[in-house]
Amino acid sequence: MTVAFERAGLSPDLPGAPRGGARAGARADAREAVGTPILVVDDDPEILAMLRDFLEGEGFSIRTATNGAEALQAIDQVAPALILLDMRMPVLDGWGFAARLRERQEAYPIIVMTAAQSAQRWAEEIGANGFIAKPFDVDELLQTIERHRRRDHRPN
pLDDT in tens, 45-61: 999 999 999 999 999 99
User: In terms of Cα–Cα distance, which of 69, 23, 27, 66 is closest to 47?
Assistant: 66
Domain of 121 in residue numbering reads as 2-13+37-148
User: Which is it for strands 130-133 and 38-41: parallel, antiparallel or unpaired?
Assistant: unpaired
* CB-CB neighbours of 118 under 10 Å: 14
CA distance 3 to 25: 27
CATH number of 64's domain: 3.40.50.2300
Which residues are registered as beta bridge partners of 10?
136
Residue 61 lies in a domain: yes
3-state class (DSSP) for residue 64:
strand
According to the model, what pLDDT value does residue 118 have?
80
pLDDT of the residue at 114: 84
Q: Can you give the pTM of this predicted structure?
A: 0.77
Asked whether residue 111 is assigned to any structural domain, the reply reads: yes
| Residues with pLDDT less than 50, the chain | 1-5, 11-33, 152-156
- Model pLDDT for residues 142-151, shown as the tens digit of each residue: 999 999 886 5
Report the pLDDT value the prediction gives residue 154, as an integer from 0 to 100.
41
Please count the structural domains in the chain.
1
Give yes or no for a cis peptide into 135 (omega within 30° of 0).
yes
